[in-house]
Structure formats: C-alpha cells, structure tokens
Structure 1
Amino acid sequence: MLDFHHSWPYERVMNDIYFEECPFCHTSPVMISIKKEAIAGAFEGIKTHIIMPCCHEKIVIESMDSDYIWAAQALR
C-alpha cells in the first residue's frame, strides 16, 4: 500500500483529467495531458509519467483509482 503523502486528487470531466491545484507550483486548475491507454494502465498498476504543463515537473504515476493518483514521490 502506498503512503497517502504520495497521492494527489484529480477530477475527470468528460475525457479530460484535471488537478484542482498543481502539487509543485500551486497553479489552479491544471489539465493533465495523459492518453486513455496510460490511464487504463495506471488503473492496473502499470507505471506511467506525466509532465505538468504549468511548471514542467515530472510525476511518475505508480497507480490510479477513481479519486487519486498514487505517485512514486511525495506530493503533499
């Protein structure tokens, strides 16, 4: 089980994924560019990464559920 400090909430609107706030630069809101195949893989526990469009920080997603992404690094 991953530590809650490594999680970040997201919202799904239609086919887009949004963070209410960037965990690094605190820009709000942020639309995440991630493919449907990568989302499906993350739900199965396959690692993928995203680059934040606001500050260009990288998040390695280890897992995803319906409310949170679970990252390799602490986000909180």
Structure 2
Amino acid sequence: MIPFERALPYDIMMKDVYVPSCPFCGEDNVLLPMRPGDLTLIRGGKKRLLVFPCCRNRVTVLDADQDYLLTDTNLRKG
C-alpha cells in the first residue's frame, strides 16, 4: 500500500516538473529542479535529493509513478 502521507503529487508541463504546492511553506506551483528524464531514473531505483527552491527544505525521492513522488519524509498528516 502506498503511504500517502509521504507522497507528493506532481505535473509535467513543457518538460518541467511542478508540484501544485510546497508541503513546507505552501508556495503555489513550485518548479522543481528536475527534468522528466530524472523521473525515469527514479522509477528505475535511483534515489534523488530534492531541494525545494522556494524554502530550501529537502527530501529524498525514493520512487515515482505517473502522478506521485514517494519521499522519505512525512509531508502531510495521515
């Protein structure tokens, strides 16, 4: 079962990866410092440190599917 408290929804628009809002500071439509090709590597088992550009908080991305990034940190209350 997917632990949704550690999942972060994302969107790809014009080869950029966005999250609807930052789970730490609440900033809307945050452009992530990763490309869609990075998601392929993450799906293949490679971990990726993700630093949010809005507030400099960081999480490690463990896995990804078509809609969510799975992180090592609880991002919302379960």
Alignment TM-score > 0.5, same fold: yes
For the 8 Å contact 1:22–1:28, the answer to whether it is kept is yes
Contact 1:45–1:64, Cα closer than 8 Å, also in 2: no
Equivalent residue number for residue 50 of structure 1: 50
**TM-score, normalising length: structure 1:** 0.90
Give the gaps of 5 or more residues in structure 2. Answer: none
**Residues 37-61 of structure 1: per-residue CA shift (max 9 Å, x gap):** 4322111121111110000001100
Moved over 6 A (4+): none
Distance 1:35 1:14 in 2: 10
Give the length in aligned residue pairs.
Answer: 76
Deviations for 1:14-45, whole angstroms, at most 9, x for unmatched residues? 21000100010000010001145432211112
- SS of match in other structure, 1:38: helix
Provide TM-score, normalisation by structure 2: 0.88
Superposed CA RMSD in Å reads: 1.4
Q: Structure 1's 59 and 10: CA in aligned 2 closer, same or farther, altered over 3 A?
A: same
Structure 1: which 5+ runs fail to align? none
